[in-house]
C-alpha cells in the first residue's frame, strides 16, 4: 500500500480524498496556487506544496509543477480528484514516467473516453446505444451536421467533461456563436479547442452508473445516480437510486455500463452517463474516467468508500469486492452549494466567506472546501460544498436535506442556498416528475419572482439595530449553535422559504 | 437614525429610535413598529416584536454579518442580503449605465470584438468575459458607436470595471 499520496487538486475534493487517505494511515500532500495560500485543503493535508500562480494554467493545470511537487514530496502515488488534470492523459503519463502511481485509469483509457468520437465507437461496440452527433474543429462543418440532424443540439468540449462550456443551440445562427464560445472555453479549460455537437434529447433524465474496474477486464457497478436536476447543464442536485428508473431500465443501464467497462479493461472508478428519454430509451452520453462530484450519494446508499476503492485498485490491481457483495439500501440526495447569486442570473460571487456554519445532524454529510474566513476567488469553480442527506426513503431524504440546508449558514459571500431550498420544495421535485431542462423551462421564472419579493421589515430592523449597537456585533464562529427558536417556519410568503402559497 | 439599504432592485429606508432598555421604535419604508433586542452571548440578536404584517409579537433570532457595504442577515433560518445604499458601491448587475458597459463580475477578458469607431447594433456581442466555468458575452445594450474600449484580451478585470463606452 502507498505510504504517501499527493492530491493534485484543491477545495472540497482534496479535503474529501485526504479524509480517506488519513483513515487508511497514508500521509497526504496538498498542492496550492498563489490564490490558495492557506486555503482549507492545504490545512487538512500533512504537507502542502506551492505549484504556481493563481491562474489554473500556471498551477493546477501545470503538469510539470504538479509532478515535480509529487516527486519532491516523496509521494508514491497521485490522486487527481476531479476537474483540472483528472482526465488528462498526458498528466497520467507524466506521473507514471516519474515512477509514481496514478490513482485512476490508464492514459489510453483516459484518451479514448476523453475523445467523444472514440468513446461513442467503444460504447457502440459494447452494445450501448449512442446519440447522433458530430465532432471537429471546423465550425461550418459542425453547423452543417447540426442542420442535417435537426435542432436543438448541444455543444460540448470534445476533450472536456463536467459540463464545462456546454451550451445548447436552437438554430444555426446561435450554434455558430455558441461553437465559438465553447471553443474558447475548451481551449482555456482543456488546452484543446475541439468541440462536439450532439442532438439534444429533450424530456430526458440523466442517469449514470458508477463502475469500478480492475484493469484486467473485470468490472462491477455500484448502481446508478440520477442527476436530472440541472441548470445550464450543471448538475445541482443528485440522488441515488434514480427515482423513476424501472427495474428493467436499471438492469439495462447497469449491464451496459459493466459491459463497456469490461470491454475496455477499465481500471479504477468511472461513470457511464446516459440519458433516458420519456419513451424509456437509454442513450450513452459519455464515460467520465474519474471520481464524480456526486459520488457521495453512491457511497451513502452502498456503504462503499469509492475513494478507498480507487486507492486499493491502484495499489493491488484487484477489485476489493465482488458484484454480489455490493448492496444498496435507502436513499441519498446531494445539493451543490455554489457561490453564485441566484437572484442575479446566478453570477459567480467572490469575497470572503466570513462566517460559515455547516449542518451536522444524523445521516447528514457535508463535503466542504471552506471554513469561516476563507476567501472565495475568481479563478476556480465556485462550488463551496456538497450537502448530502441519507434516509430510508426518498421523501425522508429530501426532508432531511431541507433541514440540513436550514442549518447551513454562509455569510460574507452570496450563495445559491435560496435556490436549493426552493428547488427541493417544488412539488415536481417531490414527485420526481421532471427532466434535464425542467429547471430552466419551468422552475426559474417562479423562483425569480420569489427572489424579487422584498426582505421582511424585520431584516431591515435587525441591520439597523446591529449598526446602532456597533458592528461587528457578533464574533465570527466556525460553528455557532442552531437557532433555538424559529418563528418563521410558518411565514411562507417570505422569498427564501420557497414556501410559495 | 435613518439609513438606506439596497434590497434587490429597490432601496429600503429604515429609521431607528432608541426607547431605552433595549427597546426600539422602528420605521421601515413608512410602516412603524416597536421591538426589543438583546445581544445573546454568541453575538446574535434576540428580537422580540416586529412588524404586525409579518406576524408581530414573536421572538426571532437574528444574525447580522457585515462584509464591506453588504449586510448578511439571518432571521431564524432565512438569509437576506442588504447593501448600504448611497455608499457608491453598485451591486454587480447587468453592467450597463450611461452609455458605458462594465464587467458584471470579476473575470478574464477572452475576446474583444470591437474597436473604437465601430458602429454596433443592440445585442451585438462586444467582449467575452470568462469567469469560472462560463464564458459571458457582453452585448451592446443599444445601438451606437464605440467611443472607448477599456480592456484587452487576457486582462483580468474586477466587477464594475468599465469595459466599453458607447456614444449615440
In chain A, residues with a C-beta closer than 8 Å to the C-beta of B134 are 165, 185, 232, 348
Q: Is the pLDDT of residue A481 over 90?
A: no
> Which residue in A417, A477, A486 is closest to B42 by CB distance?
A477
Q: Do A414 and B81 touch (CB under 8 A)?
A: yes
Q: Do A485 and B132 touch (CB under 8 A)?
A: no
Residues 102-161 of B with CB under 8 A from A: 104-107, 110-111, 125, 128, 130-135, 137, 156, 159
The grid cell for B58 is 414573536
Q: How far is B100 from chain A (nearest CA, A)?
A: 20
Q: Which of A160-174, A340-354, A385-399 has the highest mean pLDDT?
A: A385-399
Residues 46-105 of B with CB under 8 A from A: 47, 50-51, 53-55, 58-68, 71-82, 91-93, 104-105
Contacting residues for A199 by C-beta, under 8 A, at least 6 apart: A131, A132, A133, A149, A150, A152, A153, A154
CATH of domain A132-199: 3.30.1490.20
Q: In this predicted model, what pLDDT tens digit does every residue of A158-207 receive, in sequence order? A: 776 656 778 889 999 889 888 988 888 888 777 788 888 988 888 999 99
The crossing angle, in degrees rounded to 10, of helices A107-114 and A116-125 is 100
Contacting residues for A345 by C-beta, under 8 A, at least 6 apart: none
Q: Do A462 and B45 touch (CB under 8 A)?
A: yes
**Burial (CB count within 10 angstroms: exposed 0-12, middle 13-18, buried 19+), residue B131:** buried
The grid cell for A208 is 449514470
> Which residue in B1, B42, B81 is closest to A474 by CB distance?
B42
Q: What is the DSSP string of B104-168?
A: SSSEEEEEE---TT-EE-TT-EEEEEEETTEEEEEE-SS-EEEEEE---TT-EE-TT-EEEEEE-
Using a pLDDT cut of 90, give the percent of chain B over it. Answer: 36
Q: Is the pLDDT of residue A427 over 60?
A: yes
The grid cell for A348 is 459567480
Q: In this predicted model, what pLDDT tens digit does every residue of A300-320 receive, in sequence order? A: 999 999 999 999 999 999 999
Nearest CA in chain B to A454: B7
Three-state DSSP at A175 gives helix
What is the sign, positive or negative, of the torsion defined by CA atoms of A75, A81, A83, A87?
A: positive
Q: Where are the domains of chain A?
A: 4-103, 132-199, 338-414+434-501
Q: Where are the domains of chain B?
A: 2-84, 96-167
Nearest CA in chain A to B12: A460
Q: Are strands B144-149 and B125-131 parallel, antiparallel or unpaired?
A: unpaired
Confidence at residue A161, expressed as pLDDT on a 0 to 100 scale: 62
Nearest CA in chain B to A419: B79
Q: In this predicted model, what pLDDT tens digit does every residue of B50-70 receive, in sequence order? A: 887 777 778 999 999 998 889
Give the residue from B54, B132, B138, B159 with the most A CB atoms within 10 Å of its CB, the best one to mutate: B132
Instruction: Cite the active site residues of A.
Output: 290
Is the complex ipTM more than 0.90? no
Tell me what the mean pLDDT of segment A438-442 comes to.
Answer: 95
What is the sign, positive or negative, of the torsion defined by CA atoms of A473, A475, A476, A479?
A: negative
Give the residue from B66, B89, B125, B128 with the most A CB atoms within 10 Å of its CB, the best one to mutate: B66
Give exposure, A22-48, as e/b (b: 16+ Cβ within 10 Å): eebebbbbbbbbebbeebbbbebbeeb
Topology of domain A4-103, per CATH?
Rossmann fold (3.40.50)
Q: Which residue carries 467611443 as its cell?
A: B147
> Which residue in B31, B110, B131 is closest to A457 by CB distance?
B31
Three-state DSSP at A377 gives coil
Ranges A96-110, A156-170, A337-351, B148-162: which has the least confidence: A156-170
Q: Is the pLDDT of residue A350 over 60?
A: yes
For chain A, the 3-state helix, strand and coil shares in percent, each to the nearest 5, are: 40, 25, 40
Q: In this predicted model, what pLDDT tens digit does every residue of B13-55 receive, in sequence order? A: 999 999 999 999 999 999 999 999 999 988 899 999 888 777 7
In chain B, residues with a C-beta closer than 8 Å to the C-beta of A414 are 81
pLDDT, averaged across chain A: 90
Q: In this predicted model, what pLDDT tens digit does every residue of A84-141 receive, in sequence order? A: 999 999 999 999 999 999 999 999 999 999 887 789 899 999 989 998 888 877 888 9
Tell me what the mean pLDDT of segment A424-441 comes to.
Answer: 95
Q: How far is B86 from chain A (nearest CA, A)?
A: 15
Q: In this predicted model, what pLDDT tens digit does every residue of A5-46 receive, in sequence order? A: 999 999 999 999 999 999 999 999 999 999 999 999 999 999
Nearest CA in chain A to B5: A460
Q: Does B5 touch chain A (CB under 8 A)?
A: yes
Confidence at residue B88, expressed as pLDDT on a 0 to 100 scale: 42
Top-level class of domain B2-84: mainly beta
How far apart are alpha carbons A344 and B10 in whole angstroms? 14
Q: Is the pLDDT of residue A404 over 80?
A: yes
CATH of domain B96-167: 2.40.50.100
Identify whether the C-beta of residue A317 lies closer than 8 Å to the C-beta of residue A311: no
How far apart are alpha carbons B50 and A400 in whole angstroms? 30
Q: How far is A81 from chain B (nearest CA, A)?
A: 17
Residue A400 backbone dihedrals phi, psi, to 5 degrees = -65, -40
Confidence at residue A194, expressed as pLDDT on a 0 to 100 scale: 83
Amino acid at each position: 500500500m502507498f505510504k504517501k499520496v499527493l492530491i493534485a487538486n484543491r477545495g472540497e475534493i482534496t479535503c474529501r480524498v485526504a479524509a480517506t487517505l488519513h483513515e487508511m494511515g497514508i500521509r497526504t500532500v496538498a498542492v496550492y496556487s498563489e490564490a490558495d495560500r492557506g486555503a482549507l485543503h492545504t490545512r487538512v493535508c500533512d504537507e502542502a506544496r506551492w505549484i504556481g500562480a493563481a491562474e489554473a494554467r500556471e498551477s493546477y493545470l501545470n503538469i510539470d509543477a504538479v509532478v515535480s511537487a509529487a516527486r519532491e514530496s516523496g509521494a508514491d502515488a497521485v490522486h487527481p480528484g476531479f476537474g483540472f488534470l483528472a482526465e488528462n492523459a498526458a498528466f497520467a503519463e507524466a506521473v507514471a514516467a516519474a515512477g509514481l502511481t496514478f490513482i485512476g485509469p490508464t492514459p489510453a483509457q483516459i484518451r479514448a473516453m476523453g475523445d467523444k468520437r472514440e468513446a461513442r465507437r467503444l460504447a457502440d461496440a459494447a452494445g450501448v446505444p449512442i446519440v447522433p452527433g458530430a465532432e471537429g474543429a471546423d465550425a461550418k462543418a459542425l453547423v452543417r451536421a447540426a442542420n442535417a440532424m435537426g435542432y436543438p443540439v448541444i455543444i460540448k468540449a470534445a476533450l472536456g467533461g463536467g459540463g464545462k462550456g456546454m451550451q445548447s443551440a436552437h438554430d444555426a445562427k446561435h450554434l455558430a456563436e455558441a461553437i465559438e464560445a465553447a471553443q474558447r472555453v475548451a481551449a482555456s479549460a482543456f488546452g484543446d479547442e475541439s468541440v462536439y455537437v450532439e442532438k439534444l434529447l429533450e424530456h430526458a433524465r440523466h442517469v449514470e452508473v458508477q463502475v469500478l474496474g480492475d484493469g484486467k477486464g473485470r468490472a462491477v457497478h455500484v448502481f446508478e445516480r440520477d442527476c436530472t436536476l440541472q441548470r445550464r447543464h450543471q448538475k445541482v442536485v443528485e440522488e441515488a437510486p434514480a427515482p423513476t428508473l424501472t427495474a428493467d431500465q436499471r438492469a439495462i443501464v447497469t449491464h451496459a455500463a459493466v459491459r463497456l467497462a469490461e470491454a475496455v479493461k477499465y481500471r479504477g472508478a468511472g461513470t457511464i452517463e446516459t440519458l433516458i428519454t420519456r419513451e424509456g430509451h437509454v442513450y450513452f452520453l459519455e464515460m467520465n474516467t474519474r471520481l464524480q462530484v456526486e459520488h457521495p450519494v453512491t457511497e451513502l446508499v452502498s456503504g462503499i468508500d469509492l475513494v478507498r476503492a480507487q486507492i486499493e485498485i491502484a495499489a493491488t490491481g484487484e477489485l476489493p469486492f465482488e458484484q454480489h457483495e455490493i448492496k444498496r439500501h435507502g436513499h441519498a440526495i446531494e445539493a451543490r452549494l455554489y457561490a453564485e447569486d441566484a437572484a442575479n442570473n446566478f453570477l459567480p460571487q467572490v469575497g470572503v466567506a466570513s462566517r460559515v456554519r455547516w449542518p451536522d445532524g444524523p445521516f447528514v454529510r457535508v463535503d466542504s472546501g471552506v471554513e469561516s474566513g476563507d476567501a472565495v476567488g475568481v479563478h476556480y469553480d465556485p462550488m463551496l460544498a456538497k450537502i448530502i442527506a441519507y434516509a430510508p426513503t426518498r421523501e425522508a431524504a429530501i426532508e432531511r436535506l431541507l433541514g440540513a440546508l436550514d442549518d447551513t449558514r454562509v455569510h460574507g459571500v452570496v450563495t445559491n442556498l435560496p435556490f436549493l431550498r426552493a428547488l427541493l420544495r417544488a412539488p415536481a421535485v417531490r414527485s420526481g416528475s421532471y427532466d434535464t431542462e425542467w429547471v430552466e423551462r419551468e422552475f426559474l421564472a417562479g423562483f425569480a419572482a420569489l427572489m424579487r419579493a422584498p426582505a421582511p421589515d424585520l431584516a431591515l430592523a435587525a441591520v439597523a439595530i446591529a449598526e446602532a449597537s456597533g458592528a461587528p456585533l457578533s464574533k465570527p464562529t466556525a460553528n455557532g449553535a442552531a437557532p433555538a427558536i424559529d418563528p418563521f417556519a410558518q411565514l411562507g410568503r417570505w422569498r427564501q422559504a420557497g414556501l410559495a402559497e | 437614525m435613518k439609513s438606506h439599504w439596497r434590497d434587490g432592485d429597490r432601496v429600503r429606508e429604515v429609521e431607528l429610535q432608541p426607547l431605552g432598555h433595549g427597546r426600539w421604535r422602528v420605521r421601515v419604508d413608512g410602516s412603524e413598529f416597536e421591538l426589543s433586542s438583546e445581544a445573546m452571548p454568541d453575538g446574535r440578536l434576540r428580537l422580540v416584536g416586529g412588524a404586525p404584517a409579518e406576524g408581530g409579537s414573536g421572538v426571532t433570532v437574528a444574525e447580522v454579518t457585515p462584509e464591506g457595504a453588504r449586510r448578511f442577515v439571518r432571521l431564524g433560518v432565512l438569509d437576506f442580503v442588504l447593501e448600504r445604499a448611497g455608499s457608491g458601491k453598485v451591486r454587480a448587475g447587468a453592467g450597463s449605465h450611461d452609455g458605458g458597459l462594465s464587467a458584471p463580475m470579476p473575470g478574464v477578458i477572452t475576446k474583444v470584438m470591437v474597436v473604437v469607431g465601430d458602429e454596433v447594433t443592440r445585442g451585438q456581442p462586444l467582449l467575452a468575459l470568462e469567469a469560472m466555468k462560463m464564458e459571458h458575452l457582453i452585448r451592446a445594450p443599444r445601438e451606437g458607436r464605440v467611443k472607448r474600449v477599456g480592456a484587452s484580451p487576457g486582462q483580468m478585470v474586477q466587477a464594475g470595471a468599465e469595459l466599453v463606452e458607447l456614444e449615440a
